[in-house]
A and B are shown apart, each in its own frame.
Chain A
Amino acid sequence: MNNAFCQLNWILIKWIKTVLSTRTQAALHRATATTRGAAKREKAASRGGPSHLTSDPRYESIKQIMFQEEPRQLPKLTSEDLERHQTILRAWEVVRMEERRKRRGEREIKFKAMERAYEALEDVDQRLFRAACVREANVVFPRQMRVPTETPAKKIWNYLE
C-alpha cells in the first residue's frame, strides 16, 4: 500500500516538474539537489561508519566559536549618561550638517562661476562656445589620480625623471 502511494507520488512529482517553467525547475533543482558525496556520508553516519566521512570535530568547535549565541552586553546607562550621550549625538549631527551645507555652498559658487564663464563665452565667440558645449561620452578619471591617504607614500610625487 505504502509502496504504491510512494510510486504514485513520484510519478505526480515528475509530471509537475515537466509543467514548470525552466526557471522554476532550476530553482527546484538548486533547493533539493545534493552533492555527490552527501548520500554516502549520510549512509556512513547512520550506520556508524568511518568518521572521516562525517563532519570533522574541528568544524563543530569553529562553528561554536564563530557563531556562539552569547548575547551582547550593552552598556549600563544612568539617566545623566543618556542625556550626555544624546547631547553628544545631537552636537555631532549639527556639526556634520554645517559641514555639508558649507560643501554644498562651495559647489554652488563654483557652478555659478562656470555658468557665468559660459555666458561670457557665448557673448564673445560663438565658435568657441559651441566647441566648449560639446559633451564627451564615457569620460573617466585618469588612473594616475591617487586617492588621499592618512599619511603620504615614501615617494610623495612622481617627477617624470
Chain B
Amino acid sequence: MFRRSLAKGLGRSTRAFSTATTSLVSSKVRAGVLLQRDPIVLQQADGFEATCDKYFEWLEYISAEKFPRDFFFKKGSSAEAKWMELENERASQWYFDPVNKPAFKPLKKVVFGEDTAADEESAVDISRSIELQPRETEADRSGDVKSLERKLDRTLYLLVKSSKGEWELPTGDVAGEEVLLEAARRNLKEICGGKISVWLVGNGPVGHRKAADHTAFYIKGHILAGQAKTDAKLAADFKWATREEMEATVSAEYWQSVKDMLSTV
C-alpha cells in the first residue's frame, strides 16, 4: 500500500523538464537532520499486560511435564536448593477455583553439615558477579537534558538553539552542487562537531517545513556513538528531548511541521 502510493507520485516526474528551476516561488532549500537516539532499554509491561504475563506464565507452569530433577541437579547441590526454593514459592500459587487446588507438599532440602558454609559463600559470589544495571540512570535523577543516558526506554531527538534563541532541528543551507544528503551531513558536522557517529537513512527527506523565505527538508539519522558539541557561532545550546519535551520546547508552528516525523515511543 505504501510502495504503490509513492510510486504513483514519482511517476509524475517522468515529464520533460529543463535543468533550471522554473517554479514561480524561488524558495531557498535548507537541509536538516532529524537525529534520534533510539531506545536502549525495552518498554516494560505494566498494569493489565503485566498481570496477563503472570497468568500465562503460571498456566504454562501447571501444564508442563514433570521436571526430571535428578537428571538436572546433583543431590544436595546449591543449584538444587535454589530450585527447590523457587518450586515451593510457585507451588503455593493457584488462580483457578480453590476446590481443585492440589495439596501443597513443600520440598525438603538435603542439608550436608560441612559444606553449607562453603555453599553459601559460593552462592553469594555467584550472585555478585551477575549484577543487573538499573533502568533509571544518574542523568534521569539529575534531569541532565544534554545527556544521552537519560530516558533509556524512549527515543531522544537532538534540538539546537539557534543564535536567535529559537529551538529547532539542526539545519543549514545547501551549498553549490550538493545533494540533500551531503548537505545534511555537512551541516550536522558543522553544528554538532566531529565526534559524532551517525547513520543517515536513505537519500531523501522524511519531513519538511515551509517557512517564508525557505523550505527546510529533514533527513532522518540515528546517532550510533559520540556526543554533540555545538559550535558557538552556529548554535547557542543543544539538548536531547523526548517527543513530549520537544513539543514543550519548540514553537507551536514549528511543532506542526515536525510532529509527524516523530515516534511515540
Question: A residues within 8 Å of B by Cβ?
Answer: 62, 65-66, 68, 70, 72-78, 80-81, 88, 91-92, 95, 102, 106, 109-136, 139, 141-142, 144-146, 148-154, 156-160
Contact = CB atoms under 8 A, between A and B. Distances in A.
B39 A148 contact: yes
Interface stretch (B76-84, B105-113, B165-173, B205-213): B205-213
10 contacts: A65-B68, A72-B65, A113-B206, A114-B206, A121-B204, A122-B13, A132-B203, A136-B202, A145-B222, A159-B227
**Most chain B CB inside 10 Å of its own CB: which residue of A88, A128, A149:** A128
Contact of B203 (A70, A117, A119, A133): A133
B265 to A, nearest CB: 9
Contact of A142 (B29, B180, B224, B264): B224
B205 A92 contact: no
B180 to A, nearest CB: 5
Interface bracket on B: 35 or more
B174 to A, nearest CB: 7
A80 B97 contact: yes
A157 B139 CA distance: 12
Contacts of A146: 40
A148 B210 CA distance: 35
A92 to B, nearest CB: 5
Contact of A160 (B21, B29, B222, B226): B226
B179 A92 contact: no
B262 to A, nearest CB: 8
Interface stretch (B85-93, B116-124, B129-137, B230-238): B129-137
A151 B206 CA distance: 31
B63 A117 contact: no
Contacts of A77: 96, 100
Contact of B96 (A78, A121, A136, A160): A78
Contacts of B41: 148-152
B17 interface: yes
Contact of B208 (A78, A88, A117): A117
B225 A118 contact: no
B12 interface: yes
Contacts of B218: 117
A151 B227 contact: no
A133 B12 CA distance: 12
Contact of A159 (B38, B179, B204, B225): B225
Contacts of B264: 102, 106
Contacts of A70: 65-66
Nearest to B137: A156
A161 to B, nearest CB: 8
A150 B217 contact: no
B112 to A, nearest CB: 24
Contacts of B207: 113-114, 116-117
